Amino acid sequence: MRPAQVTTWLDSGNTRNAGMDIYVGNLPYSTTDDDLRGLFAAHGEVASARVVIDRMTGRSKGFGFVEMADRAQAQQAIDALNGYDIEGRKLRINESQPKPREERGGGGGGGGFRGRDRGGDRGGSRW
């Protein structure tokens, strides 16, 4: 498809069953990728499931993401599982929102006017 065709295809509503990325928060720290996949599999086809792990400690950060192949099934899973209690923790589940991309400026401020009296000589001549 050419770009114009893709835009037309998307604008015509063809994304309704294209799938959905889901944010899953307040997970017990013991939850694995397989646990997360199993939880959502009861509601439809799970394309991927991952619990976010802290690189420094190797432990779960208590949240993860699930990608479901069908948007309607994903919405059904959100409706069914949001607030669901696992090990005393109520899950917070909603459609994942992409992180806003911030404009990257050129480097940090670094410097600026320093004035004349900045330097090694701090108080006139001693001699």
Q: Chain centroid to CA 110: how far?
A: 31
Question: CATH number of the domain at 15-95, please?
Answer: 3.30.70.330
Per residue in 57-100, pLDDT (tens digit) is 999 999 999 999 999 999 999 999 999 999 999 999 999 988 78
Residue bearing the bigger pLDDT, 110 or 71 = 71
Would you kindly state where each structural domain of the chain is located, as residue ranges? 15-95
